[in-house]
Every structure is written in structure tokens, then in C-alpha cells.
Amino acid sequence: MSYCLNPNCPNPENLAYSDRCQSCGSQLLLCDRYRVQKALGQGGFGATFLAFDEALPGEPSCVIKQLRPSGTTPHVLQMARELFEREAVTLGKIGNHPQVPRLLDYFEDHQQFYLVQEYISGATLQQEVKQSGTLSEAGVKQFLSELLPLLQYIHEHKVIHRDIKPANIIRRTQDSRLVLIDFGAVKNQVTQASVNQSEQTALTAYAIGTPGFAPPEQMAMRPVYASDIYALGVTCIYLLTGKSPKDLEYNPTTGEMMWESYVQVSDHLVDVLRKMLEISVRNRYKTAEEVLRALDLEPYLESLSKSMMIQSSGDVKDQANQHPEDSSNSCANISGLSVAQIAAAICARRAKAAEGTGTMHIGKTQQRVVTTKASTLASKCSDSQQQPSKVMRQLDHQSLLTAYLKGRRDFALHNLSLINLQGANLSEINFHSSQLERANLQGANLHSSDFGQASLNRANLKDANLSKAFLGNADLEGADLRGADLSYAYLQNANLRGANLCGANLTGAKLSEEQLTLAKINWMTVRPNGKRGLL
């Protein structure tokens, strides 16, 4: 079919390879090369179409966006033109990133403006949730691990997307990577300060973005980088609950979205999402890097909170005896620590535990030490992690299964080497940074589980269900994964040296060819692109 791009055409559908529209007589081959097949969507300032490029061998697909503002008043036309040109400039500047559509062409034809970009085949996250249901905590962490580095890249190019939402994120069919689309609302030349009133234009006189996903400062026409962080947080809530912002209630006093009762995730992820969704920009994460750093601390926080409770009571007694005037502030000293300080405190405590030097107390003096010596303590943390058995908790298989059946899912930082969990149903379990060397997990259901940074050296995972599991930075050297279901699993930076992937299903899995070359595969292995074989 050939589709007519005349906005006023009463019947735009035509026979394939027609030269002119049968209804309005408009030429159908755009710029003598692009043949439009069908309409994809209509926004406030433009309409998008699927087309073929007949000037190239194989006539590859592409997306054509036509400037088509909903209003005709001069200020709306000016705003639409500025946004359209801005999208072209932005895609030209950042479109070499694998998770951003490439800009292919930009031109004017018969007084109409067109933008041609790479066609991304796949389903949006909105469509995925509607078809397959919501994501687990591991799935959301995997989502964030893919989107946050992309967001960091975009912000480093001084671009605010301003319309991050599930409908604008596509899981590409080719490699299952997430691609951010629709840069029609972007803002360039970003300043974190308020907009100078003398610089107001028709463009800044209107709030741009999707209500509910856009934070208050963006709707007030003063977006900042953290505005995208908020929209990403709202997207996470949608992925966890399947509920759009309009389906949720808001606190009438603070304006905050009330979402926590609808999710069942770890307290730490709740805290991260809360800070992403702070109404006040001052209290929200400022950069994607900050969110990534906060997420990386997850395996340490449970043990930290327990030790803090024990140590804080000890500190209160010590301070009451030694410094009575400070005893009432001991809890404030602990709660006042920043994420970086807490991380350093954990590292120092572990380093001391590994050296057998006793417990670390977090008081006023120690807080200053944590702040000034974070890099030294981080080094100690790295050293102490080389001796995991001295800092990890032990658990036998029966205790673990009993706790799981009672609803517990968090088993991060446990020493579970040689444990026998063959055939167990452990979906959505958290084994982040745990030791599982030579563990028997054959045939276990580990769907959507978190094995990030875990050691699975020579573990038996034969025929295990690891679909959508998070295995980023995990050590799978020598692991037996024959026949395992690793579809859509996240394996980036995982060590697969000597891992046996014969007959494993890696459809849609996130890993590199370099990783696969280190593993054993055969003609029955299903590769990430869905094809079987060695090539």
C-alpha cells in the first residue's frame, strides 16, 4: 500500500507503487525515494509513518515524521517548528548511540517539513506490560541498568528528553535492547537555573511532556536533568504495578504519588524510587550516576541496618556514660550519613571484621573519618570482599526453603556454597553478591531472580529456569548451564569462561559475543538473536 501524506486528503490509502494519490492527486513517492506504507501515530506537533526507502538496496524500513501541529495559530506553529528542528539536531548529535534511533534525513518538500529516522522494530514497554504483565524487582533493576547509562549519555550532551514513559521505550526485536524514542520534546542548551524571563519564547510558554510522568518543575516550564529522573521513576512504578499515574492517588498535601502499597519489593528499592520521585528537585537524585551508585549499594544495606541498630544502642550507652549531652543525638548521627558515607562505613566495618579487629562504631568522630577517608575505606572493602566467608551469613538448604515459603525473598550476601536446591521453586529470589560455588540448582525455578555479582563458580544449573534473571557481573566460570532457560536474562559483564551452554536458550539475553566465545556452546544452543548454532 502507498499512503498519502497530504494532511487534508480524505482517503490517503492507495494501491502499492501508485505514483499519485487517487483521492487528492498528491505525489506519493516522497523526495523521489520514500514510499509511505501506513500511519504509526499522531502527536501534538507531528505525525509518524512507516515507509520504505526505495533508493537503497533492499528498500529498508524507516520512520518518517511529518510536521503536523494540532493548531494553526502563529505561536503554535512557531513552537512546532522549533521542536521539530530541535529533534533533528538532537538526533544528529546523539543518534550514534545504539539505544537511540539514528537520524537518516531531514528536508522540506512542498512546504512540508520531514524528518527520517531509523525504524526500531519491537514492542513498547507499555505494550509488553499489557500483554505479559508487570515486572519483578529483578526486572526493574535490569531495566534501570539499561536506561540509566543511556540517560547519563543524553544528559552529558546537554539534552533533556522530557517525555520518558513506557510508550516511548521499545524493546528492539533484533537484540532485545531497550531503545528510547520520540525526541520531539527535548530541550537543549540546558541551564539548572531558572529561565530568564527576557528569553521566553513561544516554545517555553507551554508545558511540554506527559502529565503524570512529567514532574512539577517541568510542567512549570523549567525542566532540569532531574526531571528525566522523575519520569524514569514513574516508569518504574508502571512496570511494577501496571498502573499509569492517572490510575493512582496523590497526597493532597504534598502532591506525592501514592504507589508503595501496590508494590512488593525490597525496602532499599523503595527508598531509591522514593528519591527518584521526590517532588522537590532539591531532594531528588540530580544525575543518573547518583541513582546507579545508590542501586549498587543494595547488597550491603540489610546487614548495615541490622548492625546499625545493634551498634547505635551500644553507642547510646557509651555516649550516655562518656558524653551525656550527646546521647540523644546518636540516632541522628547515623541517619544523617549520606549514601557514600554509609557505603564507606560498611566497607570499614567489614575490613575490620575480616582482620579480627572488632566492631566499628559510628559516632561523631567516626562520621568525620568516614567522610574524609572514603577512598581508603572503599579499598579496604574491596580487600575484605576477597574473604567473603568471614563477612557472609551461613544458611542451610532447609532453613532457606522454609524462609522462602514464609515470604522471604532477600538472601543477598549469604554463603551458600555446595547447597542443594535441586528442583526448588525460588522465583524472584535475591541472591545478589552471594557465594553459590558448586551449588546444585539443577532444574530449579529461578525466574526473575537476582544473581548480580554472585559467585556461581562450577554451580550446577542444568535445565534451570533463569528466564529474565539478573546475572550482571556474576561469576559463572565452569558452571553447568546445559539446557537452562536464559531467555531475556541479563548477563552483561558476567564471567562465562568455561561455562557449558550446550542446549541453553539465550533468546533475548543481554551478553556480548566476546562472552559467548569463552563458553561452551553447540548446535542446540539458542543464541540471543533466536537462532540456533555456533554462528
Mean pLDDT of the chain: 78
**pLDDT (0 to 100) of residue 380:** 37
pLDDT at 303 over 70: no
| Same domain assignment for residues 46 and 58 | yes
User: What is residue 166's DSSP assignment?
Assistant: G
- What's the rounded mean pLDDT across residues 313-336? 39
The answer to whether the annotation marks 65 as part of a ligand binding site is: yes
Highest mean pLDDT among 66-75, 301-310, 513-522: 513-522
Confidence of residue 391 (pLDDT cuts 50, 70, 90): very low
What CATH code is carried by the domain that includes residue 105?
A: 3.30.200.20
**pLDDT (0 to 100) of residue 42:** 76
> Residue 533 contacts by C-beta under 8 Å, 6 or more apart in sequence?
523, 525, 527
Residues marked as catalytic: 163
**pLDDT (0 to 100) of residue 379:** 42
- What's the rounded mean pLDDT across residues 473-479? 94
pLDDT at 321 over 80: no
Highest mean pLDDT among 175-189, 195-209, 488-502: 488-502
| 354-269-453 Cα angle (round to 5) | 45
| Same domain assignment for residues 138 and 282 | yes
| Boundary (domain end) residue, out of 93, 118, 143 | 118
- What's the rounded mean pLDDT across residues 238-248? 94
Whether 513 and 534 have beta carbons less than 8 Å apart is answered as: no
| Same domain assignment for residues 132 and 259 | yes
| Boundary (domain end) residue, out of 275, 296, 317 | 296
CA distances from 339 to 90, 213, 294, 457, 485 (A): 34, 26, 7, 31, 36
pLDDT at 60 over 70: yes
For residue 37, the one-letter residue type is Q
Helix (H) or strand (E) holding 87: helix 74-94
**pLDDT (0 to 100) of residue 309:** 43
pLDDT at 451 over 50: yes
| Same domain assignment for residues 98 and 133 | no
- What's the rounded mean pLDDT across residues 379-408? 65
**pLDDT (0 to 100) of residue 528:** 92
**pLDDT (0 to 100) of residue 422:** 95
The parent domain of residue 431 ranges over 393-535
**pLDDT (0 to 100) of residue 18:** 85
| 258-287-433 Cα angle (round to 5) | 80
| Same domain assignment for residues 367 and 399 | no
**pLDDT (0 to 100) of residue 71:** 60
| Same domain assignment for residues 272 and 356 | no
More confident position, 19 or 108: 19
**pLDDT (0 to 100) of residue 88:** 79
Confidence of residue 188 (pLDDT cuts 50, 70, 90): low
pTM: 0.59
| Same domain assignment for residues 534 and 402 | yes
Q: Which range, of 102-106, 451-455, 484-488, averages the lowest pLDDT? A: 102-106
More confident position, 378 or 453: 453
Helices (runs of H) and strands (runs of E) counted in the chain = 14, 15
Q: Which range, of 9-13, 25-29, 95-99, averages the lowest pLDDT? A: 95-99
- What's the rounded mean pLDDT across residues 164-170? 95
| Same domain assignment for residues 267 and 313 | no
Helix (H) or strand (E) holding 268: helix 267-276
| Boundary (domain end) residue, out of 389, 418, 453 | 389
Helix (H) or strand (E) holding 394: strand 393-394
87-113 residues labelled b (16+ CB within 10 A) or e (exposed): bbbbbeebbeeebbbbbbbbeeeeeeb
| Same domain assignment for residues 384 and 397 | no
More confident position, 277 or 68: 277
| Same domain assignment for residues 292 and 147 | yes
| Same domain assignment for residues 371 and 514 | no
- Number of domains into which the chain is organized: 4
412-449 residues labelled b (16+ CB within 10 A) or e (exposed): bbbbbbebebbebebbbbbbbbbbbbebbbbbbbbbbb
Q: Which range, of 134-148, 260-274, 276-290, 385-399, averages the lowest pLDDT? A: 385-399
**pLDDT (0 to 100) of residue 532:** 86
| Same domain assignment for residues 157 and 292 | yes
